[in-house]
Amino acid sequence: MGKENLPEKQRLRAHVSLETCLQQIYLGPALVSFSPASHNRVANSDRNAFLTGFPFMSAIITIPQRYQVVNGTTAVDAGIRMLPLLLCSPIATVLASLLLSKLRLPPLYVLLAGCSLQTLGVGLFSSLDSSNLDVSPSQYGFQIIMGCGFGLNLSTVLMMVPLVVNQKDMGE
């Protein structure tokens, strides 16, 4: 399907969308006094949040689909089977806040633990056999590992903002 097959409106929309994205990437930092891309710690925090948020949102969408398609469960049952992941994420968020605020643990260690748990959980869950129609109990353990990793990472990135951004660059 070439350009000639697209209606004029669709070609114009694609061009405007591409142009807008390029402006945000190349011109956006020049238009504001503070550029997160130029600040190494902020840029790394943004990358970490993106690399955590993408698998988190993918897991929230694909795991219930897997339960419905592969294991033949209902939508409600698939949602209930997501509870280990969804309950462990806020528990890990509370744990991260305690580690950072009360124990004064450096955020790097919490992020390393979160990244390790997230990678391990996602890797183990993706290695499950899809030819077996029974729901394996190990799926719940893998969800717990994933949820702990997601919770540690996302909350730590948010709590790092006051540590890595100058006061003058933060809103009032």
At 170 the pLDDT is 67
Kindly give the parts of the chain with pLDDT less than 50: 1, 9-24, 26-38
Q: What is the pLDDT of residue 90?
A: 95
**What's the CA dihedral at 26, 32, 33, 34 to 10 degrees?**
-70
Q: pLDDT at position 16, please?
A: 42
- Between CA 60 and CA 82 the distance in angstroms is 8
Query: CA-to-CA distance for 117 and 142, rounded, in angstroms?
Result: 10
> Residue 78 and residue 80: Cα distance in Å, rounded?
5
| Cα separation, 100 vs 128, whole angstroms | 34
Distance in angstroms (rounded) separating the CA atoms of residues 163 and 20: 32
Instruction: Identify the burial level of 113 via C-beta atoms within 10 angstroms of its C-beta, where 0-12 means exposed, 13-18 middle and 19 or more buried.
Output: buried
Instruction: Identify the pLDDT of residue 131.
Output: 80
pLDDT of residue 50: 77
Give the number of residues written for the chain: 172
d(CA 134, CA 103): 43
